[in-house]
A and B are shown apart, each in its own frame.
Chain A
Amino acid sequence: MNKAYIFVFGGISTITLSIFLFVLAPRIQVAVIDKEAVSAQTPYTENELRGRQSYIENGCVYCHSQQVRDPVAGADQHFGWGRPSLPSDYIYDKPHLLGTMRTGPDLSNIGSRQPSRDWHHLHLYDPRSLVEWSIMPGFPFMYDVVVSVESPKEGAIRIPGKTDHWIIPKEEAEDLVSYMMSLKRDREPMKASEVAQ
């Protein structure tokens, strides 16, 4: 007998403790918090969910967080990113997209901060046409480009600085922008009792 059992049992018990603390306990606690506060959020629409899927597939989360920190932790509020995030801001989020990098700015409230659909489309098509110092990748493959003096189609957007180049968002781009416009986690959540009144 070479005491392998000590390592087997020791290994199993440490991982069990860790699961209890970091998977089970938060699950129950967050459920309690969600019950106490009614979220300020509304469920995503079908378009927004498709846009959210596109946000996931294109890996936006690797550069953009969706969590505003407490003022003690960072200058988030001074950058105009909104109030610190609450667990109830995420009750409709699955998978979560909190993110842990800020190569780009936080997007918790991008829908409130940038309410122009056209801006979002032009920015996705070519970020540097609007923000000269940006290192964000463009997503030109989500757009058709049309050369025309008049607007070729409803929803077409003229590329700034050019008189006859228009971009027409494909469905994916429309959905993605709908999702981003829906991100407005700046309202205060209400208690269930307050809603009843």
Chain B
Amino acid sequence: MDAKMVFLILTFSISVLGMLAFVVALIQKQVLVPASAAKSIFGPNELGHSEPDSKGRMGDQWRALDQSAKVPILFFIVSSTLWLVLGSIFGLFASLKLHTPEFLGTQALLTFGKVRTLHLNIITYGWLSPAALGVAMWLVPRLTKVPLQNVRTLFSAGIIWNIGVVLGCIGILLGVTDGLEWLEFWWPIDILLAVAGAMVAIPLFKTVYLSKEKHLYVTMWYTICALIWFPVLFVIANTHFLHSGVQQAIANWWFAHNVLGLWVTPLGLGIIYYLLPKIIGHPIASYQLSLFGFWGLALFYSQVGMHHLLGGPIPTWLGNLSVVMSAGMAIPVITVAINHHVSTYKHFHVLKDSVVLRFIVFGAMSYTISSLQGSLHSLRTFNYITHFTHWTVSHAHLGLYGFTTMVLFGGIYFALPRLVGRNFKSPQLLNLHFWVASLGIIIYAVSLGIGGWLQGEELRNIHGSFEQSMKLTVPYLVIRSIGGTLMLLSHLLMLYNVISILRSEKGEVVK
């Protein structure tokens, strides 16, 4: 029999079996969750009261849990903040070089191809991953009502992870790389990251095992699965002898989209699912809906990667599968959007008082926009325009910055006062950070989105030329650098905020 037929039959049977198992689980009510679980994040007297950014007396009941893994969590947060600043400096270099190619042009170590790669890897593995892990793991004791277990393992994981990132970056500078986008770190160094990722799972699972909560809150679903998915993805994608030629490109983009969809996104969504209701003081709009959002993400998001290779030399069925799954992503995205935005809409006034909530709501809105944008430009009609253009870069930043990074800013600003037992000396600097960063990413995403779209139309114009498609992007690239500069400035503010709360002896100590 034709090999292709074997695959079709096999994949079909596996999918059907999976769906059957899901239906059986539904019938047995294994999957349903009681709506009361949505209230489990509130302590006595907390429900109905919005929570201020600063650590108040109300938070005292959480103190033992909040500080159960103080040292490693602080290590994750502070190290990732430093990486964020460094990574955005490289990002700005890359951005400037695209419209001023002579900028640092004679430096072999700072050529565009290297600074761009450093930017991407530092932000993904130096900032997003450990920052998201730091905040997500900080929430675990709050959600299980048990102090975090194996605190030392978590700390070691943080150290090993950071050593991996340092070595990986040195490798990129010296030209020791695997040469695959999102997987540039040399494979022996990747072992450090895979081991560290798996080590973070140990305290997580041990704490979950001891959990005093009858039902796991939605944040935990996302965190548990993210920590299962990442090591698997990372190890398979980095086992290079498995891959070659076009198939390697397929595996490459399977990983590259999954590192967003199954790693950074679930951690970010989990944080929103906790902080949004917590700060407004009311449970999320529909707890059952969050279940659809979760399983929809697990099923659809894991299969969308091939829209990066549409029109290229890949099997057609593979491209089509990813297009269908990308469109399917609209389901979990809309359910999550209803949950987030309806909850916010009902308690909009809290935004006036809470800077943390501003970050979270900005992130939730960006998630909805960038995900729907993603579903749309996966359709061939749109993809043929946006593919190979700066539109993709704009979209990636809307997702990874507008959504994830903004949520992490909020998460870190929420966690720090409760972690160190002091409040920020100048809360207005947090607010300034929010506005500078928001303005920066809006300028960035809009300018590059427009530039990329026009570039894509020109790349399809049979009467046009490549020259035209490139020239017209330059003004948008200049505006992008302005947005990028604002983003970098906001990160310097954040670094100042983080250092000041750690150093301030005179800071208001809450007893």
Contacts and interface: CB of A to CB of B under 8 A. Distances in A.
A127 interface: yes
B249 A7 contact: no
A17 B460 CA distance: 35
Interface string B196-212: 00000000000011010
A134 B225 CA distance: 46
B353 interface: no
A27 interface: yes
B258 A2 contact: no
B214 interface: yes
Given A21-B11, A74-B311, A135-B99, A2 B215 contact: yes
Nearest to A127: B101
B108 A141 contact: yes
The number of chain A residues touching the other chain, given as a range, is 35 or more
A25 B245 contact: no
B99 A74 contact: no
B470 A100 contact: no
B298 A11 contact: yes
B180 interface: yes
A8 B225 CA distance: 7
A72 B387 CA distance: 13
Contact of B228 (A8, A61, A85, A127): A8
A17 B15 contact: yes
A73 B311 contact: yes
Nearest to B215: A2
A6 interface: yes
Contacts of B311: 69-70, 72-74
Interface stretch (A101-109, A146-154, A156-164, A174-182): A101-109
Contacts of B313: 67, 84-87, 89-90, 98
A10 interface: yes
Q: Which of B175, B243, B246 neighbours the largest number of chain A CB atoms within 10 Å of its CB?
A: B246
Contacts of B465: 79
A23 B11 CA distance: 12
A197 interface: no
Interface string B245-280: 111111111100010001000000000000000000
Contacts of B473: 103
B97 interface: yes
A22 B253 CA distance: 9
B247 A27 contact: yes
A27 B393 CA distance: 29
A22 B250 contact: yes
A120 to B, nearest CB: 17
Contacts of A8: 224, 228
B347 interface: no
Contacts of A136: 101
Interface string A97-123: 110111111000000000000000000
A4 interface: yes
B474 interface: yes
Interface string A56-87: 11111111010101101111001100001111
Interface in B275-319: 295, 298-299, 302-303, 305-306, 308-315, 318
A100 B392 contact: yes
B225 A74 contact: no
Given A32-B3, A67-B313, A74-B460, A87 B117 contact: no
A73 B384 contact: yes
Contact of A101 (B14, B254, B388): B388
Given A18-B254, A69-B311, A133-B467, A96 B249 contact: yes
A22 B225 contact: no
Interface stretch (B232-240, B330-338, B492-500): B232-240
Given A25-B11, A96-B245, A137-B97, A75 B464 contact: yes
A102 B4 contact: no
A27 B7 CA distance: 11
Contacts of B214: 2
A59 B111 contact: yes
A92 B244 CA distance: 8
User: Which of B112, B175, B215 has most chain A Cβ within 10 Å?
Assistant: B112
Contact of B248 (A57, A95, A127, A139): A95
B251 to A, nearest CB: 5
B116 to A, nearest CB: 5
Given A22-B305, A23-B251, A26-B314, A137 B384 contact: no
A190 interface: no
A53 B179 CA distance: 9
Contacts of B31: 6
A130 interface: no
Contacts of A18: 254, 258, 302-303
Contact of B470 (A4, A12, A98, A135): A135
A27 B88 CA distance: 37
B254 A22 contact: yes
Contacts of A90: 245-246, 249, 313
15 contacts: A7-B216, A15-B228, A17-B11, A22-B306, A23-B250, A23-B251, A28-B3, A56-B177, A57-B113, A61-B179, A63-B112, A94-B240, A94-B248, A96-B245, A138-B106
Q: What 7 pairs across the A-B complex have the smallest Cβ distances?
A: A59-B113, A73-B311, A57-B175, A18-B302, A11-B225, A69-B311, A56-B179
Interface of A: 2-4, 6-8, 10-15, 17-23, 25-32, 34, 53-54, 56-63, 65, 67, 69-70, 72-75, 78-79, 84-87, 89-98, 100-105, 127-128, 133-141
Given A2-B211, A15-B229, A95-B240, 17 more contacts: A4-B208, A7-B225, A13-B21, A14-B298, A17-B14, A22-B250, A26-B314, A26-B318, A30-B246, A32-B3, A59-B111, A67-B313, A69-B387, A72-B384, A85-B313, A100-B387, A134-B101
